[in-house]
Structure 1
Amino acid sequence: MNSNKPRLSTRTITFAGLLIALNVVLNLFVLPIGNIIEITIAFLPILYAGYYFGPWIAGVIAVIGDVLGFIIRPAGFFFIGFTFNAWVSGMIYGYILHNKPVTWKRVAVAVIVQNLIVSVILTPIWLQIMYGTALLSVPRLIRVVIMVPIEIALAYFMLNRFDYRMEK
């Protein structure tokens, strides 16, 4: 599938819908550690979307999943910055992974770049705007350091084990 002109077949729309639903469901299962750290595997459907559909469709899937997730389980008030984070995540995964072989290095780069931009840079900015918290959060950095290797291993394993092809 050409990432510049995505083909929106029935099969593509159906798979995108399944990834959105999976993202919403996985976001319901969060392991809170302290007040600001949450561990989740809800990134996997967005990673898959980036791998299979490319950046633009993955970004849209992530946005729809974020908004539906908020409607189903609101946590505080809606803030567009976190929806932007979802879009950025889909775009990053799509640019780095789409139409490329799955390698440890490529998956590691995708996960690290996504975490640096979203978790280390953007999220603290949104929390600063919303609550006046500090931009540098040691617990958030600890979470990133702990979760990045786990996310890399999960992403690599899942992309290699569960290969879904759009073409027959």
Structure 2
Amino acid sequence: MVSIKDIFLFSYRELKKVRTITTVAMFVAISIILGAFTVPIGNFLKIGFSSLTTVSIGYLFGPIVGSIFGAITDIVKYMMKPTGPFFPGFTFNAIIAGIMYGSILYKKPVSIKRILAAEILVSLLCNILLGTLWLNILYGKAFLAILPMRAVKNIILLPINSFMAFVILKFMEQHNLRKNFD
């Protein structure tokens, strides 16, 4: 079993590879394209699937690369299509999500349990709790007033996101895509 310290060390070493940097750049572009298809539902809810790129980067390159990918993607997406004021809390969420996905999925076999664990943690911490807090700070809306609708949205999307992540990562695993980067 690989320790969490080793996972972060291996992920850090991934940054020294040109193939990693170019692949991450392509995934940033894919994330921006997927982000263009995000559907806003009111002022405080959005449904989109660009998080699948963060899952993929976490699986391929680990938590360090995943966190950097999250930060870069969040900032570039904002620069390409700003929706409201820039708020660094959302960039922090993207960093934390990259760390979580990378810590749970990197150098491990794909399993629905592992993907569900990662999706639940990211949904709960980043999307429901911190995301609601950032909206509260940014717009002054009552935390408890917007929390239920954000929680319901994340609960509904959890099986959908988990299934899509499972399909994508299983495809990567079956075609040995991770081994191409070792």
> What's the TM-score once normalised by structure 1's chain length?
0.94
Gap runs ≥5 in structure 1: none
Q: Give me the whole-angstrom Cα distance separating, in 1, the residues matched to 2:158 and 2:164.
A: 10
Q: Structure 1, residues 1-24: CA drift from partner, whole Å, max 9, x if none? A: 964042321211111111111111
- In the alignment, structure 1 residue 129 sits paired with structure 2 residue 137: yes
Q: 2:78 matched to which residue of 1?
A: 70
Q: 1:43 matched to which residue of 2?
A: 51
Identity over aligned residues, as a percent? 35
Q: Structure 1, residues 41-88: CA drift from partner, whole Å, max 9, x if none? A: 100111111111110110001110110000000001110000001101
Aligned length: 168
Q: Give me the whole-angstrom Cα distance separating, in 2, the residues matched to 1:81 and 1:39.
A: 19
Please identify, of 64-73 and 10-19, the stretch whose mean Cα deviation from structure 2 is larger. 10-19
Q: Give me the whole-angstrom Cα distance separating, in 2, the residues matched to 1:63 and 1:34.
A: 25
Q: Give me the whole-angstrom Cα distance separating, in 1, the residues matched to 2:19 and 2:98.
A: 20
- In the alignment, structure 1 residue 114 sits paired with structure 2 residue 113: no
Decide which of 23, 26, 38 is 2:31's aligned counterpart.
23
Compute the RMSD of aligned alpha carbons. Answer: 1.6
> What's the TM-score once normalised by structure 2's chain length?
0.87
